[in-house]
Amino acid sequence: IASFTLTPTLFFFYLLPPIVLDAGYFMPNRLFFGNLGTILLYAVIGTIWNAATTGLSLYGVFLSGLMGELKIGLLDFLLFGSLIAAVDPVAVLAVFEEVHVNEVLFIIVFGESLLNDAVTVVLYNVFESFVTLGGDKVTGVDCVKGIVSFFVVSLG
């Protein structure tokens, strides 16, 4: 039996699209696009805020000396923050369906959960490239490239 290796390419190009297609296919489009501003606010700004708050809080704890002697910098903490920033509201959505909550609230939470995963992937890739480059070698041009790549990948 040949061994099977799950690679990022296999996951992102072959396994993830059917999952997203299934989730998005049965979604009410009118409600989604009618509330797109709110959904994007929560998905983009909320996820970036979550990643930055987590990373900066951990960096503050590190600077206080409570983590001991580690040889990592701010970008490593931001990378970790971006890794755990995505919130998965599966349980919340299940409860919403059970109690028949307002459909607009359901669509906002559902749409945010669809889009925040993409934001997290892009944010992680940006911080990973910054860490690979080295914190002291990251310039303003690199930050602008990261922001541009964020929007390019987000828009497809």
Domain ranges of the chain: 28-155
pLDDT for the residue numbered 1: 59
**Contact in structure between 56 and 77 (CB atoms under 8 Å):** yes
Question: For residues 77 and 74, what is the distance between their CA atoms, to the nearest angstrom?
Answer: 5
pLDDT of residue 17: 80
Residue 78 token pair: 């931001």
Tokens 């369906």, located at residue? 97
Q: What value does the mean pLDDT take over residues 22-38? A: 84
Q: Which residue did the predictor score with more confidence, 61 or 139?
A: 61
Give burial (CB, 10 Å; 0-12/13-18/19+) of 17: exposed
φ, ψ for residue 87, nearest 5 deg: -100, 130
Up-side HSE of residue 66: CA atoms within 13 Å toward CB?
7
d(Cα 22, Cα 51) in Å, to the nearest integer?
A: 27
The DSSP code for 12 is: I
* pLDDT given at position 125: 86
Helix 140-155 × helix 103-133 angle, to 10°: 140
Average pLDDT over residues 80-97: 87
Highest mean pLDDT among 11-20, 21-30, 50-59: 50-59
Contact yes or no for 40/15 (Cβ under 8 A): no
Q: Which of 19-28, 97-106, 125-134 has the highest mean pLDDT?
A: 97-106
Q: What is the mean pLDDT of the chain?
A: 86
Nearest residue to 57 (alpha-carbon basis) of 86, 89, 80: 80
Distance CA 90, CA 96 (A): 10
Whole-number pLDDT of residue 27: 76
| Stated pTM of the model | 0.78
d(CA 113, CA 116): 5
